[in-house]
Amino acid sequence: MSRITSRFSALSTAAEVLEGHSLHGKNIIVTGATTGIGVATARALAQAGANVVLAVRRLDAGIAIAREINAALGVERAAAEQLDLASFASIRKFVAGWGNRPLHVLINNAGVMATPLGYTEDNLEMQIGTNHFGHYLLTMLLTPSLIVAAPSRVLVLTSGAHHLNDVDFSDLHYRTRRYNPLAAYGQSKAANCLFALGFAPRFIDRGITINMVMPGAVITELGAGHVTQETFAAMGELGWLMSAFLVRSKRWIKGHRIRCGRQSRQSSKE
């Protein structure tokens, strides 16, 4: 396996990554694009000419962001549609609304982090239910649209937190074991990685490339209200690093994701 390299660095911005590239005519879905790097990613893609759908739980917030993007561009390139990844019914409704439109890039950005114990509408532990199972179902249901648009891409947002915990297949949803919010988050991120590794060889010959993207640590609303410095302290060295680098700019982070979304190299073959 050869290492993928590029001329970009950790400080590269989305504008630098997109320079000289046009995404006109490309249909892109970004989940969780009402806050943080989801918004920054959607905005940069629309600026490059893509038709971007903000797949969001809070539709009113998504509509406001889409209007803001369109107003800045002076053209309608962004739209918001409702999607609750903690509800299989909502996911199926979203995909039904998508119909047979080709999909060039799916960015699985949305997620929850270190939440108190809770369960999705389908009785799955909230973090793995939202971060993994919700995106899993969404991706698989949209795969026909990705095949139609091939060569196409799926981006899976990962985290260094996958080192915190393996996937416990004997008790995925904490029915019997003691709940630890950080361990549960780590499990959900490990599941994201396993999904990408499983998806890649199955669909590369159908023209779909999947990338796992680790964005680094950045100040966003993820974990707002329940993730504290004590939370990071409990993560040990990884938590210290995340806390130390929280001052990184969103425009740097989104550059990594934009590069994965627009580059033509079929890294899943490596």
d(CA 199, CA 138): 13
| Cα–Cα distance measured from residue 68 to residue 60, given in angstroms and rounded to the nearest whole number | 12
Cβ contacts of 79 within 8 Å, gap of 6 or more: 51, 52, 53, 54, 66
CB atoms within 10 A of CB 14: 27
Which positions are catalytic? 185
Q: What is the 3-state secondary structure (H, E, C) of the chain?
A: CCCCCCCCCCCCCHHHHHCCCCCCCCEEEEECCCCHHHHHHHHHHHHCCCEEEEEECCHHHHHHHHHHHHHHHCCCCEEEEECCCCCHHHHHHHHHHHCCCCCCEEEECCCCCCCCCCECCCCCEHHHHHHHHHHHHHHHHHHHHHHHCCCEEEEEECCHHHHHCCCCCCCCCCCCCCCCHHHHHHHHHHHHHHHHHHHHHHHHHHCEEEEEECCCCCCCCCCCCCCCHHHHHHCCHHHHHHHHCCCCCHHHHHHHHHHHHHCCCCHHHC
